[in-house]
Amino acid sequence: MIADGPLVELRNVSRHFEVRRTLADVLASRPAARVRAVDGVDLAIARGECLGLIGESGCGKSTLGRLALRLRLPSGGTVRFDGVDLASLHARALAALRPRMQIVFQDPYASLNPRRNVEQIVGLPLQLHARLTAGERRARIITALEWVGLGVAHLRRYPHEFSGGQRQRIGIARALVLHPDFVVCDEPVSALDVSVQAQIVELLGRLRRELGLAYLFISHDLAVVAHVSDRIAVMYLGRIVELGPTRAVVAAPRHPYTRALLSAVPQVHAARLARIRLTGEPPSPLSPPAGCAFHPRCPYAEDLCRATRPELAELASGHAVACHFADTITDPITDPLPPLEAVPCNP
Ligand code: SF4
């Protein structure tokens, strides 16, 4: 039975990690520090939808992707898949849902077992989750390979015989061979040559349309996310700071952090925005700043930002922003920003 509502739903989801105490901490009876990798996230992904998740390294994107698949359990909040609370499932019920939720990993070099051939690699999920005859299994493997532009000729080959792009195609075939409904694409092109990235992004977009897949598409590259996603969620230090339809977020980003990310896309900053360089590293998640976590890097920060954390609030239909001054940032494309560090546009 198909439940009404979103296919994947995260409500107030958090994941905190305790950092191991040093000897000095133990001697001083200091409690273990906690890292808030994901902190109070609400997201929903519809059937067949691609939600892009963007943010700098270490902001919690990959942890969120694993929480959505119950590869990790949340510290708080609920994750539902097709209406089912994943935390409530025992091993057998979870195993029955696994074929419907899959992941494409970032690194096609590390994610394929070098001692297995393509038939064994792509066939492994079928071995674990489907009762098929050898002939049926092989037919499913060949179909999945054909979806990604490979075929029978590649069955007996090993990962080292393929280029990076081809290896990622094998990883995608492995994720799709069980005919999932939902796939977390975790930085699927960031380890590839730029020349190959567009092919893999196009492939993932085509497969989504043809197979009716829903994606959580994780990337640090806003240009890639904007190309494939129906909506974009921007993450900063474990929290969603902007969420909206791709067109709205790209045309009129309201959060200063989104604006900085967008201005780093060459096609955008050359045409519409002065380049805004984010200065400094993101703050440590061990000791996040009080108030708005972005305030040490934000050119708009005022006393209110240093004292009070802004909540994600809807500004327009489906477009929500966590910024005290989001409604005054109305036209970021033609109205130059107070620079974090503005540099001239490329001619
Ligand atoms: Fe900047 Fe303040 Fe908005 Fe945070 S709340 S993004 S510090 S203006």
Per the structure block, which two tokens stand in for 327?
């409604």
Atom of ligand 1 nearest to the CA of 255: 6
Cα separation of 161 and 182, whole Å? 29
Cα separation of 283 and 289, whole Å? 7
Reported confidence tier of residue 307, pLDDT bands at 50, 70, 90: very high
Can you give the pLDDT at residue 336?
39
Beta partners for 11? 78
pTM: 0.89
One-letter amino acid identity for 166? Q
Q: What percent of the chain has pLDDT over 90?
A: 67
* Inter-axis angle of helices 194-211 and 134-147, nearest 10: 120
Domains of the chain: 8-328 (3.40.50.300)
Reported confidence tier of residue 341, pLDDT bands at 50, 70, 90: very low
Stretch among 177-186, 219-228, 334-343 having the lowest mean pLDDT: 334-343
* Mutation test residue for ligand 1: of 241, 305, 327, 340, the one with most atoms within 8 Å of CB: 305
For tokens 């920003």, the residue is 337
| pLDDT at 263 > cutoff 60 | yes
> If you measure from the C-alpha of residue 323 to the centroid of ligand 1, how many angstroms do you get, rounded to a whole number?
5
Average pLDDT over residues 168-189: 97
Mean pLDDT of the chain: 88
Average pLDDT over residues 180-198: 93
Asked if residue 176 lies in contact with residue 144, where contact means CB atoms within 8 angstroms, the answer is yes
- Output the CA–CA distances (angstroms, integers) from residue 224 to 133, 229, 283, in the order listed: 39, 9, 25
> If you measure from the C-alpha of residue 326 to the centroid of ligand 1, how many angstroms do you get, rounded to a whole number?
8
Q: What percent of the chain has pLDDT over 70?
A: 89
User: Whose CA is closest to atom 7 on ligand 1?
Assistant: 295
Can you give the pLDDT at residue 252?
84
> If you measure from the C-alpha of residue 315 to the centroid of ligand 1, how many angstroms do you get, rounded to a whole number?
15
| pLDDT at 313 > cutoff 90 | yes
| pLDDT at 337 > cutoff 70 | no
| pLDDT at 89 > cutoff 80 | yes
Per the structure block, which two tokens stand in for 227?
């190309």
Can you give the pLDDT at residue 314?
95
Reported confidence tier of residue 345, pLDDT bands at 50, 70, 90: very low
Average pLDDT over residues 41-51: 97
> If you measure from the C-alpha of residue 285 to the centroid of ligand 1, how many angstroms do you get, rounded to a whole number?
18
Cα separation of 81 and 69, whole Å? 9
* Mutation test residue for ligand 1: of 239, 325, 327, the one with most atoms within 8 Å of CB: 325
Can you give the pLDDT at residue 327?
86
Residue 2 vs residue 79, higher pLDDT? 79
User: Whose CA is closest to atom 5 on ligand 1?
Assistant: 323
Atom of ligand 1 nearest to the CA of 304: 2
Highest mean pLDDT among 21-30, 133-142, 246-255: 133-142
Residue 60 vs residue 24, higher pLDDT? 60
Ligand 1 binding residues, C-beta < 6 A? 255-256, 292, 294-295, 298, 300-301, 305, 310, 323-325
> If you measure from the C-alpha of residue 279 to the centroid of ligand 1, how many angstroms do you get, rounded to a whole number?
15
Average pLDDT over residues 102-112: 90
Q: Give the model confidence (pLDDT) of 286-296 as tens digits.
A: 888 999 999 99
Can you give the pLDDT at residue 271?
53
